[in-house]
């Protein structure tokens, strides 16, 4: 493993104000980790020349690679170049190809280019210019006092393209980054972090390469497998072998890998079975269907939802019988089952799922806060209703209900 220390600095007051999240640093760290380059520091500094200069000076003392995002635009508060010039003394020149690109952009859009746009084409005379194929401001790579400095735009789509196409290949060559680090994220639902760790204790105790790191999240538990290898093929073989050992122990809780969320897994399963789904939501207020339709391709399997918060809607729209509503109430297994069946029939869907319960602040029909009934109905197949007692605040109870609905549904579809 190389011992180069990398640092990432984001320039922009909007980041300090919380108006924009600093997602660039996270993404860059992930990319550098793939090549075994250690990121030791993340920093954010506002649009102030003195503070930017001081931040750069500190980074130059402690880091071997510094990647700066932001502050390369045309306005007076874009100060990255000026701040670095103060500590390096490097001359700046106008990069002709970049200037021609900027002029062509304004000509194409029949706009008048203001003089300050020329600032975006200014680069250090000593720099390797990093071409910006997505936007206008070029990036730069320079060497100063044994530190590699990389300057990139703050716009994520521009920065990412430049990193992948030019910066990372240059760094890998200059720093001789032969070792790669590759990770799998395995997703599980219906099992807590402590139980998962207990089930995998023998495997975890023997871990070396890959390493195994369980981590609880709001939407389940993940295991991050991380391996070091010389080549990607070797890394994948080691990861797959460890994944097989883990699934042999806890495979029944497995959802998917990397970005395959439980919502995606359900949609894929519905598509494979040639099923469609509809929901009837009272306590969750549409949160279940919102998460389903946030997945690309959901329209293949998702019919829709009826949000039936009031008792009258359960009766008049979903046709839950007066007998059930009067004898058992809206917060009951009988009502939940009728809701799931009737929404499937009403919306001509193979699968119906329903949620009814009490999120608070007060009890309903004698049922305490946190009581939730979830029912899943699969036409001409089977159905179930389960009662839960969730804890937490109002929104937390609703979120937990949705997550438990996903778990029940995925298990039934399996």
Out of 131, 152, 174, a domain closes at 174
Average pLDDT on 127-140 reads 93
As a whole number, the mean pLDDT across the chain is: 93
For residues 190 and 377, give the distance between their C-alpha atoms in angstroms, rounded to a whole number: 20
For residues 282 and 310, give the distance between their C-alpha atoms in angstroms, rounded to a whole number: 8
The percent of residues in the chain predicted with pLDDT above 70, rounded, is 100
Residue 183 has pLDDT above 90, yes or no: no
Can you give the residue range of the structural domain that contains 331? 262-413
Verify that 192 and 150 share a domain, yes or no: no
Q: What is the pLDDT of residue 1?
A: 44
For residues 174 and 222, give the distance between their C-alpha atoms in angstroms, rounded to a whole number: 35
Q: Which carries the bigger pLDDT value, residue 382 or residue 256?
A: 256
Which pTM does this prediction carry?
0.67
Verify that 237 and 304 share a domain, yes or no: no
Verify that 81 and 35 share a domain, yes or no: yes
For residues 199 and 303, give the distance between their C-alpha atoms in angstroms, rounded to a whole number: 38
For residues 219 and 255, give the distance between their C-alpha atoms in angstroms, rounded to a whole number: 11
* Sequence-ordered strand ranges (E) for 156-261: 180-188, 211-217, 220-229, 254-257
**Total number of domains in the chain:** 3
Question: Phi and psi (nearest 5°) for 380?
Answer: 65, 15
User: What pLDDT, in 10s, does the model give residues 58-106?
Assistant: 999 999 999 999 999 898 889 999 999 999 999 999 999 989 988 998 8
Verify that 167 and 187 share a domain, yes or no: no
User: Among all chains, which residue has been given the structure tokens 């991380």?
Assistant: 226
How many CB atoms lie under 10 A from the CB of residue 115? 7
For residues 284 and 266, give the distance between their C-alpha atoms in angstroms, rounded to a whole number: 18
CATH number (domain holding residue 136): 3.40.980.10
User: What pLDDT, in 10s, does the model give residues 22-36?
Assistant: 999 999 998 898 788
For residues 295 and 410, give the distance between their C-alpha atoms in angstroms, rounded to a whole number: 16
Out of 174, 204, 224, a domain closes at 174
User: What pLDDT, in 10s, does the model give residues 186-233?
Assistant: 999 999 889 999 999 999 988 888 989 888 887 789 998 989 888 889
The helix or strand, by DSSP H or E, that contains position 399, with its residue range, turns out to be helix 394-413
Verify that 29 and 142 share a domain, yes or no: yes
Q: What is the pLDDT of residue 382?
A: 86
Out of 257, 279, 303, a domain closes at 257
The percent of residues in the chain predicted with pLDDT above 90, rounded, is 80
Verify that 228 and 339 share a domain, yes or no: no
Verify that 336 and 196 share a domain, yes or no: no
Q: What is the pLDDT of residue 237?
A: 95
CATH number (domain holding residue 240): 3.30.70.2860
User: Among all chains, which residue has been given the structure tokens 């937490």?
Assistant: 392
For residues 20 and 162, give the distance between their C-alpha atoms in angstroms, rounded to a whole number: 21
Residue 340 has pLDDT above 60, yes or no: yes
Structure tokens, 298: 């959901």
One DSSP character per residue, 89-122 reads ---EEE-HHHHHHHHHHHHHTT-PPPGGGGGGGE
Residue 337 has pLDDT above 90, yes or no: yes
């Amino acid at each position: 493993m190389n011992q180069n220390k990398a640092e990432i600095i984001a320039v922009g007051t909007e980041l300090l104000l919380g108006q924009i999240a600093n997602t660039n640093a996270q993404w860059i760290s992930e990319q550098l980790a793939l090549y075994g380059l250690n990121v030791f520091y993340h920093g954010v500094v506002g649009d102030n020349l003195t503070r930017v200069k001081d931040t750069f000076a500190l980074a130059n003392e402690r880091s071997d690679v510094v990647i700066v995002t932001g502050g390369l635009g045309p306005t007076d508060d874009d100060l990255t170049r000026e701040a670095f010039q103060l500590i390096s003394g490097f001359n700046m020149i106008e990069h002709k190809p970049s200037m021609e690109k900027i002029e062509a952009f304004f000509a194409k859009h029949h706009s008048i280019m203001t003089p300050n746009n020329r600032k975006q084409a200014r680069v250090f005379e000593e720099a390797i210019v990093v071409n910006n194929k997505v936007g206008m401001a070029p990036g730069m790579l320079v060497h100063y006092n044994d530190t590699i400095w990389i300057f990139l735009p703050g716009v994520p789509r521009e920065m990412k393209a430049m990193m992948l196409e030019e910066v990372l290949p240059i760094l890998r060559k200059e720093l001789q980054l032969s070792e790669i680090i590759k990770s799998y994220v395995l997703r599980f639902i219906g099992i807590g972090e402590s139980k998962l760790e207990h089930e995998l204790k023998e495997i975890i105790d023997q871990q070396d390469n890959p390493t195994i790191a369980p981590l609880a999240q709001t939407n389940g538990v993940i295991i991050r497998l991380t391996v070091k290898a010389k080549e990607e093929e070797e890394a994948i073989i080691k990861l797959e072998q460890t994944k097989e050992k883990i699934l042999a122990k806890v495979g029944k809780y497995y959802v998917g890998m990397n970005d395959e969320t439980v919502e995606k897994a359900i949609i894929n399963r519905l598509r494979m079975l040639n099923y469609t789904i509809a929901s009837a939501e009272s306590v969750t207020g549409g949160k279940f269907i919102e998460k389903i339709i946030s997945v690309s391709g959901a329209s293949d399997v998702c019919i829709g939802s009826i949000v039936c918060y009031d008792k009258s809607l359960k009766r008049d729209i979903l046709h839950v019988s007066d007998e059930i509503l009067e004898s058992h109430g809206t917060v009951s297994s009988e009502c939940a089952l009728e809701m799931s069946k009737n929404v499937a029939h009403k919306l001509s869907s193979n699968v119906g799922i329903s949620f009814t319960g009490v999120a608070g602040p007060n009890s309903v029909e004698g049922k305490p806060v946190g009581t939730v009934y979830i029912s899943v109905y699969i036409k001409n197949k089977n159905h179930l209703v389960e009662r839960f007692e969730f804890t937490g605040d109002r929104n937390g109870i609703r979120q937990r209900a949705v997550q438990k609905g996903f778990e029940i549904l995925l298990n039934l579809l399996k």
